Amino acid sequence: MRLSIPKQLLSDHLQVVAKAIPVRSVNPVLEGVLLEGDGEKITLTATNLELGIQTYFTAPHRETGKVVLPGKIVEIIRHLPGDTVELEINPENFATLISSPPAEFQIYGLSAEDYPLFPEQQPELAQCSFKIKAADLRRALRQTLFAVSHDEGKPAFVGVFFSLAHETLTLAASDTFRLATTSCTVQSNSTADFLVPGKNLQEVLRVITDEEAIIEAAVIQNQLFLYCRNTCISSRLIDENYPQINRVIPKSFIGTAVLDTAAFTQAVERASLLAEGSNHVLRFSLNHEAMVIRAASKYGKIQEVVPLELTGEGVEIAFNARFILDMLKIVEGEQCLIEITGPNQPFILKDSLADNYLYLVLPVRIS
């Protein structure tokens, strides 16, 4: 197979699939990128068996053939000097000549026979499908992803829970210390619940960057497929039960506080400099005058006052500074709302600009 491809085109597509190349794998063929030409289009595929990314572009030549090129190909193509890349693949031994004068690479490719098949996409078997604006999905992911657990010992919590009910898609993520949940409108007529690994969704955020695009999504046989223009992402689903979210969200509050997002964020950032230990404890004292944030460590202590508008009762409570900061970083509105449920009881944080968003965070109990 001989190809002559604009360098930028090839490089851009390689950058997309590169997100799924495993750094190290027991199967060396997985550490590469599968390049296939079917006479009409060139398809690139990479997978770490958890996450697969496939992307294609129209072939300039009616050539057919396939090869697995090592992961290094991504950087090789990016660094080529010319505007066009000549690829010549020897079907006998998969040696691939990559030339872009004055550079010429001879790369040892591998047989595509050993490359795992991309998960089958049979729309008729779909358990559910929906269409969502890329901007909406990206926002929902940003609002929830940070709350997933990284503890493989809690297999359900390393995933983001997707719940599709007709026109509404609800996302929830939790590491059991806090819970972030949001919902957005989608085009769909199915109902389904599924659990997607947070790690894979992190890559989805990196691959789907075009806010204008419309994403078509489908769950087919334990895989979530996301189609966005020429790219298809497939993620394995987590086969675990996710606990009831609504059960843990308090319905009644003893008080509600409204704060300026910027002032609150900056105060917590400063106070967290002295938040000690792995719990990063910050003490909050809310009353009708203000919110007082305190932290103490062996290096000293800090006290900071943030103005607030409080209706109902205040509270004395302690939280992990990181948990509060994670949420404040994604707040879009100028104001941030806190719903107080009592001492040693969770806070519910809300964003004045995101009606459907809710962040529940559990306190640190101080004796």
Q: Which residues bind another protein (CB under 8 A)?
A: 150-151, 153, 174, 176-179, 243, 248, 276-279, 281, 318, 320, 344, 360, 362-367
Q: Whole-number minimum distance, CB 145 to another protein, in Å?
A: 18
Please identify, using beta-carbon distances, which residue of 207 and 324 lies nearer to another protein: 324
Integer-rounded Cα radius of gyration of the chain: 25
Please identify, using beta-carbon distances, which residue of 274 and 364 lies nearer to another protein: 364
CA–CA separation, 366 vs 276, rounded Å? 13
Phi–psi pair at 128, nearest 5 degrees: -160, 160
Q: Whole-number minimum distance, CB 273 to another protein, in Å?
A: 18
Please identify, using beta-carbon distances, which residue of 96 and 174 lies nearer to another protein: 174
Please identify, using beta-carbon distances, which residue of 84 and 285 lies nearer to another protein: 285
Q: Whole-number minimum distance, CB 297 to another protein, in Å?
A: 11
**Tokens 């007082």 label which residue?**
292
Asked if residue 183 lies in contact with residue 173, where contact means CB atoms within 8 angstroms, the answer is: no
Phi–psi pair at 118, nearest 5 degrees: -65, 140
Please identify, using beta-carbon distances, which residue of 6 and 243 lies nearer to another protein: 243
Q: Whole-number minimum distance, CB 151 to another protein, in Å?
A: 4
The DSSP output letter for 329 is T
Q: Whole-number minimum distance, CB 248 to another protein, in Å?
A: 5
Please identify, using beta-carbon distances, which residue of 179 and 201 lies nearer to another protein: 179
Helix residue ranges per DSSP H, 7-125: 7-18, 73-78
DSSP string, 115-171: SPPPPP--GGG-SEEEEEEHHHHHHHHHHHGGGS---TTSGGGGEEEEEEETTEEEE
CA–CA separation, 330 vs 142, rounded Å? 7
Q: Whole-number minimum distance, CB 322 to another protein, in Å?
A: 11
